């Protein structure tokens, strides 16, 4: 798989996170090697909260429009699969694969009554194993980047140990890579990259080290997350506010 080969380069694979066709075109203009959808950005774009409030059908439509407008390798954030049933999740993956998607993110937490919580790691690993087995039987080769939300949810006092345990379980279940959002400290990153043979993915965070240091720490993939999306609308608010105060459009030009 050409997408998987991007993990063998000296520098980490920088994923340009996108949410619509215009953001894809920006990624292309800046010579991105690969793009990935941001579930939080797409949800916000359509008026939903993150956490599978968006329907899979709506996600599929957005992905289709993106896929039809780019030749870049496309990975899709599938949240927790939009189902707890492995067979249904496989059907979702197959639909994305048929659109030309080369990778997915799938996470080990779900949102219930507005609160995100970790799924049982043993049960999630079992689900993951059933998914990867079914995909192999159907000869579907897609990069499965498994997101563990231990740092996102700040599992008290045992976050490193819990993360290592989950990584090992997911590796055995057939994961292609491990994504750990909210991982920031260099000492934690080093320990975790050394604890698995799978490529580790980190995400844009305020205290995250620069890309050169992340390379030295063994990171193989870096995501931008939904932060650029949020920053873009902060800029939009500032620009509109300036227009209203100046009673002029001069600031745009």
pTM above 0.75, yes or no: yes
CB 118 within 8 A of CB 150: yes
Identify the three-state secondary structure at position 12. coil
- Please state the φ and ψ torsions of residue 229, each to the nearest 5 degrees: -60, -50
Within 8 A by CB and 6+ apart from 26, the residues are 16
Instruction: Please report, in tens digits, the pLDDT of each residue of the chain (253 residues total).
Output: 789 999 999 999 999 999 999 999 999 999 999 999 999 999 999 999 999 999 999 999 999 999 999 999 999 999 999 999 999 999 999 999 999 999 999 999 999 999 999 999 999 999 999 999 999 999 999 999 999 999 999 887 789 999 999 999 999 999 999 999 999 999 999 999 999 999 999 999 999 999 999 999 999 999 999 999 999 999 999 999 999 999 999 999 9
CATH placement of domain 2-226: 3.20.20.60
CB 128 within 8 A of CB 146: yes
Q: What is the DSSP letter of 210?
A: P
Report which of 190, 191, 194 is spatially closest to residue 209, judged by C-alpha positions: 190
CA distance 190 to 182: 15
**Domain extents in the chain:** 2-226
Tokens representing 44 are 């916000």
């Amino acid at each position: 798989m050409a997408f998987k080969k991007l993990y063998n380069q000296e520098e980490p694979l920088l994923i340009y996170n996108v949410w619509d066709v215009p953001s894809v075109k920006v990624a292309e203009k800046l010579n991105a090697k690969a793009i990935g959808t941001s579930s939080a950005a797409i949800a916000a774009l359509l008026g939903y909260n993150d956490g599978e409030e968006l329907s899979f059908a709506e996600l599929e439509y957005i992905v289709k429009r993106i896929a039809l407008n780019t030749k870049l390798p496309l990975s899709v954030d599938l949240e927790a699969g939009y189902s707890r049933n492995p067979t249904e999740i496989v059907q979702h993956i197959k639909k994305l694969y048929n659109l030309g998607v080369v990778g997915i993110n799938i996470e080990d937490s779900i949102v219930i009554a507005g609160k995100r919580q970790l799924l049982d790691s043993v049960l999630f690993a079992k689900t993951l194993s059933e998914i990867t087995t079914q995909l192999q039987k159907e000869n579907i080769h897609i990069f499965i980047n498994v997101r563990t939300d231990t740092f996102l949810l700040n599992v008290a006092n045992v976050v490193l140990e819990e993360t290592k345990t989950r990584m090992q379980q997911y590796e055995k279940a057939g994961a292609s890579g491990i994504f750990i959002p909210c991982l920031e400290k260099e000492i934690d990153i080093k320990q975790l990259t050394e604890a698995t043979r799978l490529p580790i993915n980190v995400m844009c965070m305020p205290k995250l080290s620069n890309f050169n240091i992340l390379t030295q720490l063994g990171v193989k993939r870096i995501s931008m997350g939904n932060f650029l999306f949020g920053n873009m609308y902060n800029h939009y608010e500032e620009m509109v506010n300036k227009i209203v105060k100046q009673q002029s459009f001069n600031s745009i030009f």
